[in-house]
Every structure is written in C-alpha cells, then in structure tokens.
Amino acid sequence: MITNNKVKIVAFVGLAGAGKSMAVDYVTTKGYPKVYFGGVVLDAMTEAGLEHNQENEKTFREEIRAREGKDFIAQRIIAQIHNLIDAGQHRIVADGLYSWTEYKVLKHEFPGELIIVAIIAPKQVRHRRLLVRPVRPLTQTEADQRDWAEIENIEKGGPIAIADHYIVNDSDIEQLHQQIDKVLDEIEFAI
C-alpha cells in the first residue's frame, strides 16, 4: 500500500456503451499513461488459445475470476500501476475497473490516490451506441444480457454507485470532453 499525494489514478467506470473508452482515449491524449483491465483478460485469453469475441470474453472473464479469485485482474493492474509510478508517472488512467472487489483492492492499495469517475448514459443511448459500434457490436438482446451479467456476475454496479465524480454522456463528444476537463481540473485543484 502506498500513500502519495502526488499520484492520482483516475479510473473510469460505467456500463457498456456509456463512453468509458472515449473518456480514456481523451485523457491519454493529455499525457496520462493507461492501464487496461480488459487487456489482462485478453492477454490471458490469448495465452489460453481462445478467440477474442464477445461470448468467449464474457465466459472467460467470469471463469478466470472464479478460478483465480475476484481480485485476479486487480492484482495485475496494481503491479502495472506500481511500475508506472516507479518510472516517474504521477497521473495514470485506469480503463475498465469493473467489480466491487477490484475497487476495494485498488482503494486499499492506493487509498488517497484512486479517483473513480462514473460515465453514465441512459440505457437506450448506450444500447444504440453498442449496436452501431464498429468493434464487437451488440444487438438489443445482447446488450441487455451484458448489462445483467455485468451487474449480477461481476459486481459492476458498486464502483458506479460509489464514484467520486459523475459524467452524464448523453450528448456529443465535445460535451463529454468538457465534462472530463472539469473533473480533471477538480482533481488537480484538490491536490
């Protein structure tokens, strides 16, 4: 566990289609290095020889947490964050913190450094985005099933409910960027 007031780890949370990846992409353009929770799962899938697709990813994500522990991904992300801090990084963005367990593990490891930002959007907006996205598009039924699986099986609602900041992403990209800038300014001001 570290406590370093100079270090800030901004973790974006939200349900699928809320705009987390867009937020992370924007923040990385500001010089924040990224740790990617989903990358841990995808790397483990590759090692297991599994094809990267929605069904395999969902099943594998749940199975690996059941087999290796609910904190499996968080422990690997903690190591990545420590490596970045050791390399002199003081602002880090975390993409894909999903579960309540992951939140608790990271909050324990980085008690004053972890800032949770929930990106939220109405269900119909999120599901429309998922339907038209170029990578791994989801039908309405698939989007509903993913929401339920993430809430029930992965405890995704906890980190969203307890977030330090909320951004409503129901408009255009410029409005999202403005809201992110405001949150980043608040975080910097609080240091």
Q: Edge to edge, what strands does the sheet with 91-95 contain?
A: 34-36, 91-95, 8-13, 114-120, 165-168
Q: Which pLDDT belongs to residue 4?
A: 63
Question: pLDDT of the chain along its 191 residues, tens only?
Answer: 555 668 999 999 999 999 999 999 999 999 999 999 989 988 989 999 999 887 888 788 888 888 988 898 999 999 999 999 999 999 999 998 988 999 999 999 999 999 999 999 999 999 999 999 998 899 999 999 999 989 998 889 999 999 999 999 999 999 999 999 999 999 987 65
Which ranges of 29-132 does DSSP label H, i.e. alpha helix? 37-47, 54-68, 72-86, 100-109, 123-132
C-alpha to C-alpha distance for 48 and 169, rounded to whole angstroms:
36
Query: First-to-last CA distance in the chain?
Result: 19
Instruction: Name the CATH topology of 8-190.
Output: Rossmann fold (3.40.50)
Output the pTM of the full model: 0.89
Six token digits for residue 91: 């602002």
3-state secondary structure of 12: strand
